[in-house]
Amino acid sequence: MAFDALKTMQVHGAGRIARFAAQALRDYASNTEAKTPKEYWDLVQTAGERLRSARPTAVSLPNAVNYVLYGGRTAFESGSPVADIRQATIDSANDFLVGSIAAVKVIGEIGAKRIKNGDTIITHCNSEAAISIMKTAHDLGRGIKVICDETRPRYQGRKTAATLADYGIDTTIIIDSACRLFIDKADRVIVGCDAISANGALVNKVGTSQVALLAHESRVNFMVAAETYKIDFKTLTGELIEIEERDALEVAPKEWMTQHPNVKFHNPAFDVTPPQFVDFYVTEKGLIPPGGILAMMKELYRYSDGSMSIGKAFFYQ
């Protein structure tokens, strides 16, 4: 099931999560049968709600689901028959999928312009958008070197390192706690993004805030690659972004826990980086400083492609 694949992190990376959810909901909408529009829409909405609940922090997931549902809901509320509601939902999903993939490419092109020849880059976790910047810089002949921390406890940094090395980029892995030793060798840090709050704060894989603090202390440029659908519109109304707590078995094996029953565990999957530690976000709409996120939210809320207001779709629950 799609829910299980998301919950167990068989699919990870905010952009991949978003597209996986949009595709899963599209497939469900395509194959679900119902006699009445209300019966059909109730089924599709319930499926969307379940997908949204799989990962509480990565706002790309609910935003993708909301985007898909918004198109179907518009058709449902206009009194359309089941076939039209189905098609509207499918069209919204396809629109999101195409836009998501295109955004990663554009982010790579925009971000690579800020990479200088011979730059050494530190990166954390595994981000399609961040990788797109580094690959594009490499394609432009910038001769970059990349240092990937392991990103414990699930070691997503190893996946990033393998991807970059296979692409021909000079790549090194370090343990997370060695970042201070290597920050002075870096010209910039590039990370991905799971959510952006209205005040410009970054929510990303746990450990990101420590890397950002080191970059700030060492005057190293800190760039965040982020599609605009990772902006959390609910933070406008005062809601906080929930930080997902994952199973302690990701940190220590069951045998060790049994031997040391009095040891407690916390395994947060994400942390929050204050906006003052972020130099700018690289989005498909351009470079945005943390202080410009609110203006971008207003722009997205107003924007319409003729059928859907993007920001309003992200507000939809």
pLDDT for 243-261, tens place per residue? Answer: 999 999 999 999 999 999 9
β 170-174/145-149 pair status: parallel
- Which residue has better confidence, 62 or 182? 182
pLDDT value at 298 more than 90? no
What was the pLDDT predicted at 268?
96
- Phi-psi map region of 306: left, alpha, beta (phi>0 left; psi -120 to 50 alpha): left
Residue 91 token pair: 């069209």
| pLDDT value at residue 307 | 40
Q: Write out pLDDT tens, residues 110-122.
A: 999 999 999 999 9
Q: What is the pLDDT of residue 310?
A: 56
| Mean predicted lDDT score pLDDT of the chain | 92
pLDDT at 164 over 70: yes
H or E element at residue 186: none
Q: What is the pLDDT of residue 133?
A: 98
Cis, bond preceding 153 (omega within 30 deg of 0): yes
Of 119, 125, 148, 179, which residue is the catalytic one?
Answer: 125
The pLDDT of residue 24 is above 80: yes
Contact 303, 309 (CB under 8 A): yes
Name all domains of the chain by residue range, CATH numbers in brackets.
2-105+304-315 (1.20.120.420), 111-301 (3.40.50.10470)
Task: Give burial (CB, 10 Å; 0-12/13-18/19+) of 221.
Answer: middle
Check 149, 194, 232, 279 and give the catalytic one: 194
Q: Is the pTM of this model over 0.85?
A: yes
What is the tens place of the pLDDT at every residue in 211-223?
Answer: 999 999 999 999 9
Percent of the chain beyond pLDDT 90? 82
239: pLDDT confidence band, cut at 50, 70 and 90?
A: confident
- Phi, psi dihedrals of residue 164, rounded to the nearest 5°: -70, -45
Provide the pLDDT confidence category of residue 302 given band limits of 50, 70 and 90. low
- Lowest mean pLDDT across 44-53, 110-119, 297-306: 297-306
What mean pLDDT comes out for the span 219-235?
Answer: 95
Residue 193 a catalytic site member: no
Question: Residue 5: pLDDT band by 50, 70, 90 thresholds?
Answer: confident
Whether 194 is a known active-site residue: answer yes
* Biggest distance spanned by C-alpha atoms of the chain: 64
At 314 the pLDDT is: 60
- What's the pLDDT at 90? 96
Which pLDDT does position 313 carry in this prediction? 60
Of 140-144, 241-245, 274-278, 301-305, where does mean pLDDT reach its minimum? Answer: 301-305
